[in-house]
Amino acid sequence: MRPISDMDGETARRLVGIVFDVDDTLTRDGVLEREAFEALWAVRSKGLPAIAVTGRPLGWAEVFAGTWPVSMAVGENGAGWFWRSGRSVKGGFFDPPLARAAQQSMLARIRARVAAVLPDLREAGDAGLRRCDAAFDVGEAETVSAVDVATLVRIIEAEGARSVLSTVHAHAMPGGWDKATGAARAMSEVLGVSAEVARRSFLFVGDSPNDGPAFAFFEDSAGVSNVHAHVAGLPVPPRWVAEQDRGRGFAEIVNAWLSRRGA
């Protein structure tokens, strides 16, 4: 990983938009940092697209799309997305209705097994706003041992779903999406940007294991400095890294990109 301050002008000008994680990339202790929000407005002021891609529920993504200075918000690690169209917020899903109905049956089995085997484990506090996945609290409001997390992962995978860990949640994902495929599908359907153009022309910013597919997909990616805690487990590390962590690191990355783009 190279310091984001090393980004050259040619690279910065090739990047026409930004895709970013939310938890511990824009937030600190769950709160959106002022510097990060100002950085989003800086991107908007240049007329460039900014796309949130989060493990948070689609209910949150709908709010982000309707109230933040973003072009679109993708939720539940790629399961669906929302965007603002005039005064309305519209949405789409990675999978069609029949597939999503079958996935809900799989999630019900996972919840039942988790309740039987790990009765003290809690679903994420945002579970009521989830529409396509299930998320369990392994670090947000609860402290969960590594042994219990490993048991949870085995249960999820035994029922046919994939398990993805973020800094706060363990997700049971019953479909084939991830942050890279979900973002690419959303960008194609809503913005008319092909997957190849997205890969070469958008900067991805993140920090944690569930950002791994996006770090691998986007040609240019950057991590806020807290990515160092997870980089050993990432198949492909980010190309660039900030000196600062979380929202301040995000602002550092955006400012470096925009300043070199302008130059």
Q: Do residues 184 and 258 both lie within one domain? A: yes
DSSP result, 44-68 = HHTT--EEEE-SS-HHHHHHHHHHS
pLDDT of residue 167: 83
Contact 140, 124 (CB under 8 A): yes
Q: Do residues 59 and 18 both lie within one domain? A: yes
Please tell me the distance from the alpha carbon of residue 159 to that of residue 152, in angstroms, as a whole number. 11
Tell which of 173, 198, 225 closes a domain: 173
pLDDT of residue 179: 97
* DSSP three-state, residue 18: strand
Residues 6+ apart with CB under 8 A from 52: 19, 20, 21, 22, 61, 64, 65, 68, 70, 72, 73, 74
Please give the tally of structural domains in the chain. Answer: 2
Residue 160, domain CATH: 3.90.1070
Q: Do residues 11 and 77 both lie within one domain? A: yes
Please tell me the distance from the alpha carbon of residue 88 to that of residue 145, in angstroms, as a whole number. 43
Tell which of 173, 205, 238 closes a domain: 173
Structural domain including 141 reads 97-173
Q: Do residues 157 and 57 both lie within one domain? A: no
Report pLDDT digits (tens) over 102-135.
999 999 999 999 999 999 999 999 999 999 999 9
Q: Do residues 197 and 220 both lie within one domain? A: yes
Please tell me the distance from the alpha carbon of residue 255 to that of residue 131, in angstroms, as a whole number. 35
pLDDT of residue 262: 86
Q: Do residues 209 and 90 both lie within one domain? A: yes
Residue 188, domain CATH: 3.40.50.1000
Q: Model-level pTM?
A: 0.95
Side chain identity, residue 227? V
Tell which of 121, 150, 173 closes a domain: 173
Q: Do residues 7 and 89 both lie within one domain? A: yes
Q: Do residues 191 and 82 both lie within one domain? A: yes
Q: Do residues 201 and 227 both lie within one domain? A: yes
